Amino acid sequence: MANAETPRTSLKRDAFGVPGILFFVLSAQAPLTSIVGAACLAIAMGNGAGAPGAYLAVGLVVILFSVGFTTITRHLDTRGGFFAVIRAGLGLRTGAGGSLLALLSYNAVQFAMYGLFGASLAGLFSRDAGFTSPWWAWSLAAIALVWFLGSRKVELGARVLAVLVAFELLLLVAFAVGVLASRGVGSLDVTGSFGPSAVLAGAPGVAIMFAIASMFGFESTAIYSGEAKDPKRTVPRATYIAVTVIAVFLAFVTWMLVAYYGAAQVQAQAAQDLGSDPALFALTPLNDVLGSWAGTAADALLCTSLFAGVLAFHNMITRYFHAMAGSRLFPAVLERTNRHQAPANASAAQSLAACVVIASFAVLGLDPVAKLFSWFSGLAVATLIVLYTLTSIAVIAYFRRHRVEAGVWATRIAPGLSTVLMLGILSLVLNNFGVLTGGDTVTVVLLLVTIPLSFAFGWGRVRGQAPALAPAEVA
């Protein structure tokens, strides 16, 4: 039809700069959730007082990964995130497989956070208002609100995330300052938390596993390259800032927890709280240092932290749908945008998938924390580390075929070291996957087998490498 209107498929350009991207990344990493949840586990089951050092060590590995990753973003259109990078380095089939792994990991962690959000908010109302409600009702309400925000201008979501993340960061900074003021600088034991013997004490692999889980989402900077101002400069800058800020921040706040309890007693206390309520490990010091209001605020901010996380991952997933549809690997309808230049159809599809998962767990009577959160967050971490490894290999392969003025460090050495280190972390995650998920052998196997099956599904979506699907280079 000659008069048929051409469907919109373009996302809004020049929507935000480095600060906007940073808030998307930091909200995905949910710093308060990491401290209230992961810190107790890393200390109790990992390396005790050396957990802050594990956060820094993982931060260095992630920065090493970022060297090659940000270098390739200067030469490719990376709106497809891992899909774009892996496709450019290892071919369309491998890229398509990688894109399905990315969708698996991001959807899994978002579903996990929806479960924890529903349980946390239901618990908050039950404790403070005497109002009993099912966890899944809050999860479904969150899905509806996320769908609304995800189908509107991307700046609206960025503003919401900025406010939510700012509050949780301020609370944690106030706690850290309070510990320093009450305990004094003399309570800080640098070698006891950051020395090699401290970091390698106990079960460092477990601490490293929870540390890398807490940094989930930093790579999403590349996904927003099509909507960022001056992406060749904005994306690398935002990536390095995000990794540095979250690694240093989590290490510092965890160190303040160690200082509060004392390096000699912190692991025993974490183990004790792990047996009752892991959140008490962080909430008790917050109440003691800042007053009872801090514990109540932390309860509420934990819910907003989780909401910020599900919104951030929703935005990441919908942009993967958009990129995959643009490459004809997903139905073209998912590429269409609305009058706000947001991927509205992709937003609706992702929200529907979340509804199906939440409804399934609710109908089956499965616990939203012990089952939904534990299973899906563990799956997400394992899948993402596979992706990091594939991406590092793809960077090396791409720069072997393309001469650029980037130097051997950025194009060969750093990605090579990153590949080796990511494989090491992957082995730690797989060896401790039962700890990460809390599942039995059958559950562990069923979760892990979804990783190669998802990759195979993506691989099978390709029926031939059409010229139109060649990776676009940045001029």
Tell me: the pLDDT tens digits for 253-278? 999 999 999 999 999 999 998 877 78
Over range 300-326, report the average pLDDT.
Answer: 87
Q: How confident is the model at residue 170 (pLDDT cuts 50, 70, 90)?
A: very high
User: Of 213, 223, 459, nearest to 318 (Cα)?
Assistant: 223
Per-residue pLDDT at 124: 87
Fold of 18-461: Amino acid/polyamine transporter I (1.20.1740)
The conformation of residue 411, written as its DSSP 8-state character, comes to: I
47 has pLDDT over 70: yes
CA dist 28 → 209, 287, 453 (Å): 17, 26, 26
Per-residue pLDDT at 356: 98
Cα of first residue to Cα of last residue in the chain, in angstroms, is 35
Domain boundaries, the chain: 18-461
Per-residue pLDDT at 9: 56
Is 144 or 404 the better-scoring residue by pLDDT?
Answer: 144
Share of the chain above pLDDT 90, in %: 47
Is 12 or 157 the better-scoring residue by pLDDT?
Answer: 157
Least confidently predicted of 122-131, 377-386, 411-420: 122-131
Over range 362-372, report the average pLDDT.
Answer: 93
227 has pLDDT over 80: no
Count of C-beta atoms within a 10 Å radius of residue 466:
11
The burial class, CB within 10 Å (0-12 / 13-18 / 19+), for 133 is: middle
Over range 318-343, report the average pLDDT.
Answer: 83
Per-residue pLDDT at 404: 78
Distance between CA atoms of residues 470 and 352, nearest Å: 31
Look over the chain and give the mean of its residue pLDDT values, rounded to a whole number.
86
pTM over 0.85: yes
Distance between CA atoms of residues 110 and 89, nearest Å: 28
Residue 185, φ and ψ in degrees, nearest 5: -60, -30
Tell me: the pLDDT tens digits for 408-463? 999 999 999 999 999 999 998 898 888 878 878 899 999 999 999 999 999 988 86
Per-residue pLDDT at 275: 77
Over range 164-183, report the average pLDDT.
Answer: 90
Distance between CA atoms of residues 395 and 299, nearest Å: 42
23 has pLDDT over 80: no
22 has pLDDT over 60: yes
Interacting residues of 259 by C-beta distance below 8 A, sequence separation 6+: 179, 180, 183, 187, 188, 189
186 has pLDDT over 50: yes
CA dist 261 → 79, 170, 180, 187, 289 (Å): 45, 22, 13, 10, 12
SS3 442: helix
Per-residue pLDDT at 154: 60
Is 350 or 344 the better-scoring residue by pLDDT?
Answer: 350
Is 226 or 196 the better-scoring residue by pLDDT?
Answer: 196
Return the HEC string of 48-82.
HHHHHHHHHHHHHHHHHHHHHHHHHHCCECCCCCH
Over range 27-46, report the average pLDDT.
Answer: 86
